[in-house]
């Protein structure tokens, strides 16, 4: 089943628990923890949606979708305070998708969850990565002199 394939592809994230300013998580740790919670909410949505596409939304599925929306909203608020505008456009689009009526969200839940996962993996491979980003000099320019 396609849902099983998706659940197998969810990337596990383990972030060091960093304590800064009297126990508050640093921004990276906070965002990665939010990704973990979003992934848990995605699993819940997919598990409750199995075999129910096209059927009325029951309380369990509605609660799972509500949790996913809440986790994404919290993540969006955190990133809005930290990141540039072009990245946040992706968040706005995802929020619009999540806010559609539940029957429409559930009808496309697998595609939506794959999009969410790809978005989070992209963040984890770029600005949330502990690895240094490669420095590239644009074509046609010369590197600055020391």
Res 84: pLDDT: 66
Say how many C-beta atoms besides its own lie within 10 A of residue 58's C-beta: 11
Over its length of 146 residues, how does the chain's per-residue pLDDT go in tens digits? 344 444 444 444 343 343 444 455 578 888 899 999 999 999 999 988 887 777 888 899 899 999 999 999 999 888 888 776 667 788 888 899 999 999 899 889 889 999 999 989 988 888 787 776 554 545 555 555 54
DSSP state of 144: P
Sequence-separated (6 or more) residues with CB below 8 Å from residue 28: 15, 18, 128
Predicted TM-score of the model (pTM): 0.71
């Amino acid at each position: 089943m396609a849902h099983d394939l998706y659940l197998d592809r969810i990337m596990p994230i383990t972030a060091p628990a960093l304590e800064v300013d009297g126990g508050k998580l640093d921004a990276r740790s906070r965002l990665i923890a939010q990704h973990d919670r979003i992934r848990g909410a995605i699993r819940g949505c997919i598990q409750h949606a199995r075999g129910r596409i096209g059927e009325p939304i029951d309380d369990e599925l509605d609660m799972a979708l509500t949790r996913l929306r809440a986790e994404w909203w919290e993540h969006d608020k955190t990133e809005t305070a930290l990141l540039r505008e072009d990245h946040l456009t992706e968040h706005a689009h995802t929020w619009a998708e999540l806010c559609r009526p539940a029957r429409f969200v559930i009808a496309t839940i697998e595609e939506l969850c794959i999009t969410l996962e790809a978005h989070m993996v992209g963040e984890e491979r770029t600005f949330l990565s502990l690895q240094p980003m490669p420095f590239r000099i644009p074509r046609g320019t010369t590197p600055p002199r020391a």
